[in-house]
């Protein structure tokens, strides 16, 4: 278990060493905290390489996975706090937001060095794909124990083995990143902007090298909107469907039921948002189509870029955004939310219940996906996660409201955090109360690991203690 954990930290160490490297490239002061901490983590990982890898139990895999999601942002926050000259709480918030791919920010980006701006983007790029994927590819011994951990990160295999699946995922990620850099640059961004925006688009993260976010670039280069929309939509897709798309396997692609629901959501909610912008907010038709469609797609894919100030929108428009963010993208993707697959299962279950009430039992068909009949337990687990996600959002919004915020704004922010979106109506800021920041941090982490591992870990720990007491 220790070897697995140190293997993940070794990858973090390698990534942290890119910060002083960028400092050298731009002729800025070397970030010594990143240099020293990165070297320390890398050495610890190399030392762990000499240990014998043992298969992990379910409990050990959960502990390593969850502790990784908690400790990696905390370790990074120590260095970020020192270099950015901000409080440890704000640095922790920023790093959790980065690694979970949420995109909230509480720092003044204008005061950051190029290396730290790039680090914020790199946190999202690596965090959304998952450290286990990077560890499986780059750490020689990690594949031996990846089978237990990989299920926590990404539960579907594209290739026959986990190692080949991880390699394929990383290759897809790199191709999308390179294509994105080229298209962003050609449509009007600078090279530095292109690199940062692509990393946070492909990862459906949303952090920006500017305090005003993407609006700064849009005002100067509006054509960048089109490649960003395309990559946001792709970023919210199931990796298996992306693989089929890039491989030319279009028959397999169009058979994806979840993709059909995802596309439906991408049509219906942006249309509703554009109508709200035009008739509720009173914007002109051009702005309503551009901002309404762009912002809602950003919310559904849980990317977090926006055009215009969302805090000035009316409650009805904000509620439409909340719906889109709550649903999110597809399973086996970098997107958050309940995912299109669970929405599909919800509708199928409702349809099945309706038929059960009005039709004879022998005529009611079982719920299937890709001609495979689903077990009732699998359906229940999917629906349970929807309930848990809704409960987490509601409790989070209630706590934020307690700090003096309007409930719809609190609900917007809580949904954005739990679904790892990053769109904000200005509740999240450097001046926000500590309680608000803590609630948002908890929602970001729990939403990123999708709650169930936390419950499973607690259950396994309790059961172990119970068994020990019974043996005693």
First vs last C-alpha separation in the chain: 26
- Using pLDDT thresholds of 50, 70 and 90, give the confidence band for residue 367: confident
Is 301 in the same domain as 188?
Answer: no
Amino acid 472: pLDDT: 43
Instruction: Report the number of distinct structural domains present in the chain.
Output: 2
Provide the whole-model pTM: 0.91
The answer to whether the beta carbons of residues 42 and 14 sit under 8 Å apart is: yes
Amino acid 469: pLDDT: 42
Is 93 in the same domain as 61?
Answer: yes
Query: Which residue among 218, 235, 252 closes a domain?
Result: 235
Is 352 in the same domain as 228?
Answer: no
Q: What percentage of the chain exceeds 90 in pLDDT?
A: 65
Query: Which residue among 194, 214, 235 closes a domain?
Result: 235
Query: Which residue among 235, 257, 285 closes a domain?
Result: 235
Is 431 in the same domain as 300?
Answer: yes
| Res. 38: pLDDT tops 90 | yes
Q: What is the dihedral of CA 251, 158, 240, 133, to 10 degrees?
A: -160
Is 367 in the same domain as 394?
Answer: yes
CA distance 200 to 98: 9
132-190: pLDDT as tens digits? 666 655 555 555 555 555 554 455 556 666 677 778 888 899 999 999 999 999 999 99
SS3 content of the chain, % helix, strand, coil (to 5): 70, 0, 25
What is the per-residue burial (b if ≥16 Cβ within 10 Å, else e) of 315-340? eebbebbbbbbbbbbbbbbbbbbbbb
290-300: pLDDT as tens digits? 999 999 999 99
The answer to whether the beta carbons of residues 380 and 445 sit under 8 Å apart is: no
Is 230 in the same domain as 259?
Answer: no
Is 421 in the same domain as 454?
Answer: yes
DSSP string spanning 62-110?
Answer: HHHHHHHHHHHHHHHHHHHHHHHT--HHHHHHHHHHHHTT-----S-GG
User: By residue range, what is the domain housing residue 150?
Assistant: 2-235
Is 175 in the same domain as 196?
Answer: yes
CA distance 408 to 314: 10
Q: What percentage of the chain exceeds 70 in pLDDT?
A: 85
Is 108 in the same domain as 19?
Answer: yes
Residue whose C-alpha is closest to residue 18's, from 148, 88, 123:
123
Is 416 in the same domain as 282?
Answer: yes
Is 218 in the same domain as 268?
Answer: no
| Average pLDDT of every residue of the chain | 88
Is 227 in the same domain as 294?
Answer: no
Tokens of 127: 């965090």
């Amino acid at each position: 278990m220790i070897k697995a954990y140190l293997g993940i930290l070794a990858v973090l160490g390698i990534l942290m060493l890119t910060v002083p490297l960028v400092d050298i490239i731009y002729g800025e002061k070397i970030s010594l905290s990143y240099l020293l901490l990165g070297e320390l983590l890398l050495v610890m990982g190399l030392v762990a390489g000499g240990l014998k890898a043992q298969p992990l139990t379910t409990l050990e895999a959960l502990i390593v996975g969850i502790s990784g999601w908690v400790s990696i942002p905390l370790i990074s926050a120590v260095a970020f706090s020192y270099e950015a000259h901000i409080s440890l709480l704000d640095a922790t918030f920023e790093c959790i937001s980065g690694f979970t791919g949420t995109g909230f920010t509480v720092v003044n980006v204008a005061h950051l060095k190029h290396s730290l701006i790039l680090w914020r983007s790199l946190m999202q790029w690596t965090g959304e794909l998952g450290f286990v994927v990077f560890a499986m590819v780059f750490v020689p011994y990690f594949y031996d124990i990846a089978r237990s951990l990989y299920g926590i990160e990404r539960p579907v295999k594209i290739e026959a083995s986990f190692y080949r699946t991880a390699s394929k995922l990383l290759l897809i990620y790199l191709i999308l990143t390179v294509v994105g850099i080229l298209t962003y640059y050609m449509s009007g961004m600078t090279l530095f902007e292109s690199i940062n925006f692509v990393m946070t688009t492909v990862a459906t993260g949303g952090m920006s090298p500017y305090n005003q976010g993407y609006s700064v670039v849009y005002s100067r280069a509006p054509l960048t909107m089109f490649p960003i929309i395309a990559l946001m939509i792709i970023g919210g897709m199931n990796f298996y469907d992306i693989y089929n798309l890039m491989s030319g396997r279009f028959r397999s692609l169009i058979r994806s039921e979840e993709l059909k629901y995802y596309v439906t959501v991408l049509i219906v909610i942006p249309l509703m948002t554009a109508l709200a912008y035009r008739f509720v907010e009173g914007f002109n038709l051009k702005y309503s189509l551009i901002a309404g469609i762009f912002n809602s797609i950003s919310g559904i894919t849980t990317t977090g870029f926006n055009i215009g100030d969302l805090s000035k929108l009316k409650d009805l428009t904000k509620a439409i955004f909340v719906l889109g963010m709550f649903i999110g993208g597809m399973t086996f993707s970098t997107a958050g939310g309940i995912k299109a697959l669970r929405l599909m299962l919800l509708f199928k279950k409702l349809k099945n219940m309706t038929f059960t009430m009005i039709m004879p039992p022998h005529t009611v068909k079982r719920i299937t996906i890709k001609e495979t009949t689903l077990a009732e337990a699998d359906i229940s687990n999917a629906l349970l996660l929807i309930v848990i996600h809704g409960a987490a959002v509601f409790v989070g919004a209630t706590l934020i409201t307690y700090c003096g915020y309007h409930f719809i704004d609190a609900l917007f922010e809580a949904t954005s955090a739990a679904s790892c979106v990053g769109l904000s109506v200005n509740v999240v800021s450097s001046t926000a109360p500590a309680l608000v920041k803590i609630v948002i941090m908890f929602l970001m982490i729990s939403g990123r690991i999708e709650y169930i591992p936390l419950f499973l870990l607690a259950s396994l720990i309790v059961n172990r203690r119970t068994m020990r007491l019974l043996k005693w």
